[in-house]
């Protein structure tokens, strides 16, 4: 053992033995996450404005599988004290939640700042801090004020200023107590998802709107970062990033290696390269493919809007760490033109590839969720080697189930396996700063409504009290946090 590191020994010889007592570094943080529209409810209390989700699900309830919406959800607007209590029960170091833009700014603009919105987020932040839990605040988790959507939403470049105004108000109100800010959650969903009829406002414009949005979210994030950097960081010394959702992609056969890399760039690079790469701007290979596709289709201007030199410099380097939401993995296969698929996986249609599951992976809920924890470690390596980013914070990771049982062994196992992969990556020399479980509790799961659960706590949506009850995964997570390790004892179910 003298000449061989523990990590190498473990990997080569007996990984299961080594993983039995793995310890997290002393400064590693554990957290749980939620998002405003998924938990708050109280969609129209006081002067709250309407969001795109309020608006579209009221007029078209069939857009969710169970015709539900977030009007009440977990009622966290009223039950936030219980949410804090649950975070305390788990022993987490941080609680990630989002501010509802239309709750704080009912018109979407800074002309009116809601006193009630201010009070709600102040109470939540102060309540967490009283218990020693760090608030990690997402500025935008998809609930755009409908008033701004009516003006074109994320396809209108003026949104860069609208978002910057909103961010500045949030920093001014809460920046003295919030030191980790996340700007725009999963911009891939904000653009590719919302313009592909899968997320509100359920638009259908994958050729143009999606790419206008892509450029505007990068600029809006950068502007919000620069404002913090110049006006607030000297006072509060906080950190900022933009959480990217990232499927890990691997080639199905060695012949698919090139398209697999391209799909990573299409998904991840389009939202990361402008910020994290040394050169900035779009990933060159993606800019080229999209320019060729556009030209062939008869467009005069690139469908993916170009960045000017000034814009490239403006966006480049606007991060303090890499924020990663990770869930699953796919294999990538080169297809003949027009055969892309099978599911509207963003980008496959531009690259003529399809994504498939490895038959060795088990799946959760439906086919979309393949379980391959090793993908997380590979992804962490990809971020390090592609961008040279040293610090990575896992801002989401979790497992969807249709079953609502309190005995959620599959979720517990999923979280355990992902934490093991994180420990291995840390051992490899990658600085993973912390882990955020999605989600603190069952909530409104977008177009799946309440049919799919991610919660460490179950929520009784039939009770007016929205009673929350810990699952086995909550007890497991508590035990990991308390011991700051994954121990063999946790393999048994009576870990606490």
Q: Which residues bind ligand NAG (CB under 6 A)?
A: 381, 384-385, 388, 428-430, 463, 465, 467
Closer Cβ to ligand NAG, 98 or 458, answer by number: 458
Closer Cβ to ligand NAG, 308 or 462, answer by number: 462
Q: In whole angstroms, give the CA distance from residue 99 to residue 143.
A: 9
Q: What minimum distance in Å lies between the beta carbon of 264 and ligand NAG?
A: 16
Q: Nearest CA to 285 among 335, 227, 350?
A: 350
Closer Cβ to ligand NAG, 176 or 428, answer by number: 428
Q: What minimum distance in Å lies between the beta carbon of 465 and ligand NAG?
A: 4
By the 8 A CB rule, do 139 and 97 touch? no
Cα–Cα distance list, 234 to 210, 227, 271, 315, 459 (Å): 36, 11, 27, 20, 41
CA atoms within 13 A on the CB side of 292: 7
Query: Contacts for 44-47 with beta carbons within 8 Å, 24 or more apart?
Result: 45/77, 45/116, 46/114, 46/116, 47/106, 47/112, 47/114, 47/116
Q: Nearest CA to 40 among 90, 92, 104?
A: 104
Q: In whole angstroms, give the CA distance from residue 441 to residue 34.
A: 8
Closer Cβ to ligand NAG, 110 or 388, answer by number: 388
**Catalytic annotation, pick one of 50, 250, 349, 396:** 396
By the 8 A CB rule, do 225 and 183 touch? yes
Closer Cβ to ligand NAG, 253 or 385, answer by number: 385
Name the token pair of 482.
């308390």
Q: What minimum distance in Å lies between the beta carbon of 463 and ligand NAG?
A: 5
Q: Which residue is nearest to ligand NAG (CB)?
A: 429
Closer Cβ to ligand NAG, 264 or 364, answer by number: 264
Q: What minimum distance in Å lies between the beta carbon of 379 and ligand NAG?
A: 13
User: Dihedrals φ, ψ of 272, to 5°?
Assistant: -115, -40
Name the token pair of 297.
């289709």
Q: What minimum distance in Å lies between the beta carbon of 41 and ligand NAG?
A: 16
By the 8 A CB rule, do 194 and 44 touch? no
DSSP structure class, residue 48? P
Q: What minimum distance in Å lies between the beta carbon of 248 and ligand NAG?
A: 16
Give the number of residues written for the chain: 496
DSSP structure class, residue 489? G
Closer Cβ to ligand NAG, 41 or 294, answer by number: 41
Q: What minimum distance in Å lies between the beta carbon of 380 and ligand NAG?
A: 9
Q: In whole angstroms, give the CA distance from residue 194 to residue 381.
A: 29
**Catalytic annotation, pick one of 186, 311, 350, 420:** 186
Angle between helices 209-227 and 159-174 (to 10 degrees): 30
Does residue 297 carry a catalytic annotation?
no
Alpha helices in 283-373 (DSSP H): 284-296, 309-315, 348-351
Q: In whole angstroms, give the CA distance from residue 168 to residue 22.
A: 41
Closer Cβ to ligand NAG, 69 or 384, answer by number: 384
Q: Interior CA angle at 36 toward 31 and 42, to 5°? A: 135
Q: What minimum distance in Å lies between the beta carbon of 276 and ligand NAG?
A: 12
Identify the residue whose tokens are 């015709």.
67
Does residue 186 carry a catalytic annotation?
yes
Active site residues: 186, 396
């Amino acid at each position: 053992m003298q000449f061989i590191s523990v990590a190498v020994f473990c990997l080569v010889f007996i990984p299961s033995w080594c993983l039995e007592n793995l310890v997290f570094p002393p400064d590693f943080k554990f957290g749980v996450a939620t998002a405003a529209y998924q938990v708050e409810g109280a969609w129209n209390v006081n002067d709250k404005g309407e969001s795109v989700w309020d608006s579209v699900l009221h007029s078209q309830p069939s857009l969710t599988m169970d015709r539900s919406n977030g009007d009440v959800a977990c009622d966290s607007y009223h039950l936030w004290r219980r949410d804090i209590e649950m975070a305390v029960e788990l022993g987490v170091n941080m609680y990630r939640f989002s501010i509802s833009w239309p709750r704080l700014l009912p018109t979407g603009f800074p002309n009116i700042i809601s006193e009630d919105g201010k009070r709600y987020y102040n109470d939540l932040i102060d309540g967490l801090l009283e218990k020693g839990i760090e608030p990690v605040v997402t500025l935008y988790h998809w609930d755009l004020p409908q008033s701004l959507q009516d003006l074109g939403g994320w396809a209108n470049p003026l949104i860069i200023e609208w978002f910057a105004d909103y961010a500045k108000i949030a920093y001014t109100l809460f920046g003295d107590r919030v030191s980790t800010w996340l700007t725009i959650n999963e911009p891939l969903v904000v653009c590719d998802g919302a313009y592909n009829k899968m997320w509100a406002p359920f638009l259908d414009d994958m050729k143009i709107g999606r790419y206008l949005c892509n450029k505007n979210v990068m600029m809006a994030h950068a502007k919000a970062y620069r404002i913090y950097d110049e006006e607030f960081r000297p006072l509060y010394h906080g950190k900022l990033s933009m959480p990217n959702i990232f499927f890990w992609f691997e080639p199905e056969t060695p012949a698919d290696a090139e398209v697999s890399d391209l799909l990573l760039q299409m998904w991840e690079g389009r939202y990361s390269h402008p910020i994290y790469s040394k050169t900035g701007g779009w990933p060159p290979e993606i800019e080229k493919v999209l320019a060729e596709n556009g030209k062939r289709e008869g467009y005069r201007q690139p469908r993916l809007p170009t960045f000017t030199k000034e814009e490239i410099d403006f966006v480049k380097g606007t991060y303090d760490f890499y924020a990663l939401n990770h869930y699953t993995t796919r294999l990538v296969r080169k297809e003949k033109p027009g055969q892309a698929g099978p599911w509207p996986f963003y980008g496959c249609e531009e690259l003529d590839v399809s994504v498939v599951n490895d038959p060795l992976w088990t799946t959760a809920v439906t086919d979309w969720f393949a379980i391959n924890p090793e993908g997380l470690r590979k992804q962490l390596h990809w971020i390090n080697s592609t961008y040279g980013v040293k610090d990575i914070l896992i801002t989401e990771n979790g497992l969807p189930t249709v079953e609502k049982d309190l005995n959620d062994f599959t979720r517990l196992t999923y979280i355990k396996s992902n934490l093991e992969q994180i420990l291995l990556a840390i051992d490899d020399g990658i600085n993973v700063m912390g882990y955020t479980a999605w989600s603190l509790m069952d909530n409104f799961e977008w177009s799946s409504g309440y049919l799919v659960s991610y919660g460490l706590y179950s929520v009784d949506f039939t009770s007016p009290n929205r009673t929350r009850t810990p699952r086995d995964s909550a007890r497991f997570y508590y035990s990991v946090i308390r011991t700051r390790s994954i121990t063999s004892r946790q393999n048994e179910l009576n870990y606490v």
